[in-house]
Structure 1
Amino acid sequence: MSFDGTPRPRPRWYHAQTDLDDFAIVSYRVDAAALARHLPEGFAPMTMGFEDGPGTLISAVAFKDRDFHFRFLPQVSIDCGQINYRAYVTAYGKPGVWFFGTDLDHPVVAIPQHLWGMPWQRDRIRIEADWDRAPARWRLDAGDAHCDASELPQPLTLLDGFADESDWLERLTHPTLGWYRRRGGRVGTYSIWHPVMRPRHLATTSARFPFFERLGLITPDTPPHSVLAQPRLHFDIHTPPRRFHPARRVGTSQARPAKRTIPQ
C-alpha cells in the first residue's frame, strides 16, 4: 500500500508559503519515558518497536527557507536557514509533532520569539548540499550543532521501527499538526501542508545536536537513526498559530485568525 499524502487545504489570504531547499530530517531513537517528561498533560510519545526493543523518535529538521512570505504580502519575503527540533507524539490521541524549539538565521526571529511567545532563537545556520555528486553530500553547521552526511548507494525500502515505506513516509515525513509550549506555559498549535516527500537516504559521517543533549534525550556519541533528505520541498503554513484547546477540533486550517495572534 502506498502513501498518497493528505488533501491540500484551500490556501487562505492569511496563510504563508515557502520553498525549503536542501531539506533534511536527522532523527534519533530515544527512550520514550525520557521524552514523556518533557510533554504536557494529554501528550504522549509515539512509541515504536525497533529491532532491539521499544522506543520513540525525535528529529532535527534543517533546511533553507527560500522566498518565505505571507500570501497577502508576496513582495516581502525572506531567505534564511532554519532548524526545527521536534518529537513524534500524540495529543489526546491525535498524531503530530511536539516542537521543542526553532533556530532561525534571520532578525525576523524576534516576531515569534517576543510577540508570539514561541521557543525560537536566532543562530548562525549554514547548510550546503551537492545533489549531483556521487554520492550526494549534505552538511550543516549551526552554532554548536553540526552534521555531515552522504547518500547511501541503495534506495531506502525498510526503516527500523516502521512496517513499510508507507508507514515511515506518513509518520516520519508527513506530520501536518504541531504543538509547542508558549511563553507562560500554555500550549500553542498550528498546521502545515506539503506534497508527499520522495526523500533520499543518507548516513552521517559525523553529527552532533547539543540541543537534544541538554534535554537529556541523547548523548554526544548517540548515532542518528536515519537521515532523510530532499533537494526541495514546498510548504504551506496555515498561519496564524492558535492556542491549543483539547476539547476543540485540532488542526483545522480553515479556522479564521484568532484575535491577538500573529502568523508564524
Structure 2
Amino acid sequence: MSTSPFLPRPRSGPLDVTTDLLDFAIVTYAVEPEALARHLPPDFEPETFTLADGRRVAFVSAVPFRDKNFRFGWAPFFRFDMGQTNYRAYVRHRGERAVWFFGTSLDSPWVWIPRFVWKLPWHPARMRFEAAWTGERCEQYRLATEGEWGGAELELSGTETPMGCLDGFRDEEECAVVLTHPLQGFYFRRDGRLGTYSIWHARLQLQRANVRKARFQVFESLGLTTSESVPHSVLVQRSTEFIIFLPPRPL
C-alpha cells in the first residue's frame, strides 16, 4: 500500500456508495487530550499537537455537508439527497493515524438502514442548510440542526485563503493528512461492539472561513467544548466526491 493517503480514484463495488458532498465544512476544536481520552476505548489514544501558545491539545471536528446523488453501485439510477453531519476525533490506533467517530446525524428516513442493519451510531435529525457561493468562494453559510442527538448551529462566511498550515501542525502536508484526509474510521456500534469502515476522496481544496456562530451539542454533552468555545479552524469547499466502502464491519 502507498504511504500517501492521496490515492487515485479506486474502482467501487456494487455495495459501495458514491455521493457528491456539497456545502462541505470542517469545524475543528482544540480540546484537552485527557478529556478526549475518556471517550476512547483501549488501543486508541488522542493524537496530540502543540499550539503556538505552547498548549498541548487534541482535535475534534464536526463535518456537515449535503449529500447529492447518493447512490449504491448496484442501483445507480436510485439517487437521494440529504443533509449529514459527522462528529469525529483524530486519534492513534495501535500507533497508526485514524479517526474516531462519535456518531452521525442524518436528515433522511434512510437513517434507519445503517442504524439497524449495520448498527452504526447514526441518528435522525432535521437539518436546514443555507449556503451561497460565488465560484469556489463561500459568501455565507448557515446550518441549523434539530433532533434528540446532534443539535447544532453554524454561521460562517468564507474567504479566498487556502487552508495552508494551521496552528499546531508542522506544515501544510501534515495538516491536510490529519484534518482533511482520514480514510479509516472506528466507532462504537449501537450494540456496544467496535466497528470500522473506510472511504475514499480526492485531495480536498479547502479554503479558510470566518465563523460567526458555532455550537455543537455532541461536543458539549461529551464535555469537550462549552457554549463559549471558539473553533480552532473552519474550512469549506463547495463540492467533492466521496466513496464509502460497504458494508462496515465489526472490529
**Unaligned residue ranges in structure 1 (runs of 5+):** 245-264
Match for residue 94 of structure 2?
Answer: 92
- C-alpha displacement at 1:105, in angstroms? 0.3
Question: How far did 1:6 drift?
Answer: 2.5
Partners of 2:5 and 2:183 within 8 A in 1: no
What TM-score do the two structures reach when normalised by structure 1? 0.87
Matched, 1:195 2:192: no
The residue identity in structure 2 corresponding to 1:130 is A
RMSD: 1.6
Secondary structure of the corresponding residue to residue 74 of structure 1:
strand
User: Does residue 160 of structure 1 match 2:167?
Assistant: yes
Equivalence for 2:115: 113
- Partner residue in 2 for 1:57: 59
Q: Residue 211 of structure 2 corresponds to which residue in structure 1?
A: 204
Give the C-alpha shift of residue 153 in structure 1: 5.5
Amino acid at match of 1:43: F
Distance 1:225 1:67, change over 3 A: same
Asked if residue 69 in structure 1 is aligned to residue 71 in structure 2, the reply is: yes
Rounded to whole Å, the distance in 2 between the matches of 1:206 and 1:85 is: 17
Q: Return the alpha-carbon distance in structure 2 between the equivalents of residues 80 and 60 of structure 1.
A: 17
Indicate the structure with greater strand content: 2
Structure 1 residue 135, shift from structure 2 partner: 6.4
Post-superposition CA distance 1:22-66 (Å, at most 9, x none):
100011110111001100110111111111211010000000000
C-alpha distance in 2, partners of 1:4/1:200?
20
Calculate the TM-score normalised by the size of structure 2. Answer: 0.92
Looking at structure 2, the residues matched to 186 and 70 of structure 1 have their Cα atoms a distance apart, in angstroms, of: 26
Relative distance call for 1:183 and 1:155 in structure 2 (3 A) is closer
Count of aligned pairs between the two proteins: 242
Query: Are 1:42 and 2:43 matched, yes or no?
Result: yes
State the identity %.
46
Give the Å deviation of 1:119: 1.1
The answer as to whether partners of 1:22 and 1:128 remain within 8 angstroms in 2 is no
**What secondary structure does 2:77 align onto?**
coil
Q: 1:237 maps to which residue?
A: 244
Q: 1:141 aligns with which of 139, 144, 150?
A: 144
Distance (whole Å) between structure 1 residues aligned to residue 248 and residue 198 of structure 2: 8
1:186 matched residue in structure 2: 193
Question: Hey, what's the Cα distance between the residues in 2 that align with 1:37 and 1:74?
Answer: 41
**Cross-structure match for 1:176:** 183
Distance in 2 separating the partners of 1:30 and 1:147: 19
What's the offset of the Cα at 1:8? Answer: 3.3
